[in-house]
A and B are shown apart, each in its own frame.
Chain A
Amino acid sequence: MRRPSRVATFIDKGGTGKTTVAAHLGVALSEAGDDVLLVDLAGKQGDLSKHFGLWDEVEESIAEDDDWPNISTVFQDEWDIIVEKLGDAAVQDLILETDEGPDVIPAHPGLDSLDAELGNIDKPSERYSRLDDFLTEYVDPLGYDVILVDLPGITNNVTYNGLWATRNVVVPVEAGVFEASQLAALEEDLDKMDENFGVDVGLSMVVPNKVDRRTKLADEYLAEFREAYPEVVARPVPVSQEIRNAANEGRTVFDVEEPSRTGERARKRFADNADELRSRIADKPTRTGVEAVSDD
């Protein structure tokens, strides 16, 4: 059985468009023929699901007390027992289909307390490998080509689970000084993860997002990003009201019938970047195994 490629969208900063990039790369990969699963760990607000108009369904299930098990349950000690008792339905019920191709495991309010709960697990190899275990044992056999995990805009135990499980990270950045420094900090963090825990997480792609080429500043930062990360900087995605409008309507810009020029350009850029991403993550083994990890 071929393992799916796994990748996470992450930067320790809010507002750069992580979720938008995850949703659009997911749809672009799907349109190119891949079977894609999106996993929303980015927070209880469920933005990834909102991109596909699924959040009402999630909220309804919560209101009706029909929201168990959910994504936060898979991190619990009891998860294996739950699957044993519920069978395949335990995993299948987590996954929602979208109209645009990818499937989604939506966020849940239970993610709220997950960071603190994971912090109570003493051994790093157990604390950070919960998502990896879940994906490997229960999701990989479902036959997806790509699993794309949207992570919180903060470095915490949930984030490390995502990086640990995917070993590939896509970093959406806006053209700004804070993103540049956060990107450098992320690189250092990834190096330390490798050095201290033997977990090699690759910076697969830096996506300049919401780029307004009319400003000189945007060009300057783009040039800087390209100089600093020549091998991984993707094609810049233009700022587009069309993307915001589509998100408000519960869809991506790929689902807009007659997009504006910037909407069209954004769509093309996401498609190009998805192609590039596929080739990059396909070359790299997703998981080297937690056995390589030291608890010292």
Chain B
Amino acid sequence: MTDDLEELKKKTSRDDRLSETEEDDEEDEVAYTPVEDVVLRENAEQGVKTLREQTERSGRVEGDDEPDEVQLSQYEELFEEESPVDDPYCGNCDHVTFRKHNGEPGPHCSFFDLKTLLESGMVCGDYEPQTHGGA
């Protein structure tokens, strides 16, 4: 067997893949069925929508009181840089230690970050899943 085939074999063989999966397990990675995907996605979308509405409402009030004050977002406080996306939070809670799906610190709470959080129990105590939408 040639070296590159040996390499492919090593990479795609059970022992090697298992060790990767075990590492993933430590990060509480989980597999999702399509139905769970949809439910989680709806939760995330609804959460973002709710947060946006809340932000718009509070923005109007705060804007009247202190028009010149610039508040750092939780993302900016945590990562000391501007969020690369418009809405960095999932909207379901104020928890900011979101991770990417691969377990690394992530720039924002994407759909998969939320899934990781939900399954790993890392969401804050205030969060309640909303399977039918609504905040």
Q: Are B4 and A85 in contact (CB under 8 A)?
A: yes
Tell me the A169-197 residues at the B interface (CB within 8 Å).
189, 192-193, 196-197
Secondary structure of the A side of the interface? helix
- Chain A 62-77 per-residue mask, 1 if CB under 8 angstroms from chain B, else 0: 0000001100110010
**A262 on interface, CB distance cutoff 8 Å:** no
Chain A residue at smallest Cβ distance from B17: A113
Q: Count of A residues near B, CB < 8 Å?
A: 35
Contact B18 A68 (CB under 8 A): no
Given A85-B4, A189-B35, A192-B38; A119-B14 close (CB under 8 Å): no
Interface residue stretch chosen among A120-128, A135-143, A232-240: A120-128
B101 close to chain A: CB less than 8 A: yes
A68 touches B101 (CB 8 A): no
Kindly state whether residue A110 has any CB partner on chain B within 8 Å: yes
A157 and B5 form a contact (CB under 8 A): no
B interface secondary structure, majority: helix
Contacts of B29 in A (CB 8 A): 116, 119-120
Contact A110 B38 (CB under 8 A): no
* Chain B residue total in the interface (Cβ 8 A): 28
Residue of A nearest to B31 (CB): A119
A97 interface residue per 8 A CB criterion: no
Q: A124-B37, A196-B34, A196-B35 are in contact. Are A110 and B17 (CB under 8 A)?
A: yes
Is there contact, CB below 8 Å, between B31 and A157? yes
**Once the chains bind, are A113 and B14 in contact (CB under 8 Å)?**
yes
Q: Which residues of A contact B5 (CB under 8 A)?
A: 82, 85-86
Q: Which residues of B line the A interface, CB within 8 A?
A: 2, 4-5, 8-9, 11-14, 17-18, 20-21, 24-25, 29-35, 37-38, 41, 101-102, 112
